[in-house]
Structure 1
């Protein structure tokens, strides 16, 4: 049980670390340049999506969706809370400095990026037939085809 929570914690901290790095790059490298800030933010969301696509691809091979989806959702929720509430404090800002529209836009963008990443990773895994369910069905088909045919007497 502890191993599951360790993986969730590491994933949440990794997602938060990507956000902190992007915030620090914006603050020290592009302070005041809105187009550069938008590009760095877009890069951050792409990086978060790719991380989650890789996690979905890796965890989807090993375990059924019902098991790993909750863990990924928990990690995303923790990382979202850290990103929205603690992330601005790291760079010396207030989480609500931009107003409620900016606060909720951050949440919406984060959820879209994370959901897209997880879905793309799992869809790629499923399309390749490497997910847990496809492999289980393949093993079942192989074992049922390997049994000799039973003779039925009438």
Structure 2
């Protein structure tokens, strides 16, 4: 049980840590510049999307899609809830300070970048032919062709 949920918790923590770093950079380095804070937020979402793309790429090589997609959903959901509900307190705000529209916009942005990153990572893996299913089909084909080949080349026993 620990082997399954420990990586999920650690990776959710990594995604939340990216958010914490972005909020602290926005708060201390660009306190008055809203345009720079928006740029930091955009970079944060891109980094989070790239992390999920790398996760999908790595896990898609070693395991079938249905075995790792649930873990990725748990990671993204946990990190998103931490980011949306606990993250604003790090930068001195509250989750609903800017209204419900801004709160839900942050949820949609987070989901969009993480889902988009995961899909991008898995699609790159599929295009390269390195995903679990493609490799399984390749092994199956090789085994099937090896079984169909005759083992020895025998001469005909017909006399002329």
Q: TM-score, normalised by structure 2?
A: 0.91
Aligned equivalent of 1:24: 24
Distance (whole Å) between structure 2 residues aligned to residue 92 and residue 35 of structure 1: 18
Aligned equivalent of 2:50: 50
1:110-129 → structure 2 map (5 Å cutoff): 110-129=110-129
Distance (whole Å) between structure 2 residues aligned to residue 27 and residue 70 of structure 1: 34
C-alpha deviation, 1:32, in angstroms: 2.1
Aligned equivalent of 2:14: 14
Distance (whole Å) between structure 2 residues aligned to residue 148 and residue 18 of structure 1: 53
Distance (whole Å) between structure 1 residues aligned to residue 4 and residue 121 of structure 2: 20
Distance (whole Å) between structure 1 residues aligned to residue 3 and residue 130 of structure 2: 24
1:59-98 → structure 2 map (5 Å cutoff): 59-98=59-98
Q: Greater Rg, structure 1 or structure 2?
A: 2
**Partner of 1:147: helix, strand, or coil?**
helix
Distance (whole Å) between structure 2 residues aligned to residue 110 and residue 75 of structure 1: 12
Distance (whole Å) between structure 1 residues aligned to residue 18 and residue 126 of structure 2: 27
Distance (whole Å) between structure 2 residues aligned to residue 7 and residue 62 of structure 1: 15
Aligned equivalent of 2:147: 147
C-alpha deviation, 1:91, in angstroms: 1.9
Distance (whole Å) between structure 1 residues aligned to residue 149 and residue 89 of structure 2: 69
Give the gaps of 5 or more residues in structure 2: 151-160
Count matched residues: 150
Show structure 1 runs of 4+ deviating over 2 A.
none
Deviations 1:96-122 (A, max 9, x none): 101000000000000000011000000
Distance (whole Å) between structure 1 residues aligned to residue 41 and residue 102 of structure 2: 13
Q: Does residue 104 in structure 1 map to residue 104 in structure 2?
A: yes
Deviations 1:40-89 (A, max 9, x none): 01100110011111000001101000010000000000000000000011
Distance (whole Å) between structure 1 residues aligned to residue 56 and residue 149 of structure 2: 39
C-alpha deviation, 1:149, in angstroms: 5.5
Q: TM-score, normalised by structure 1?
A: 0.95
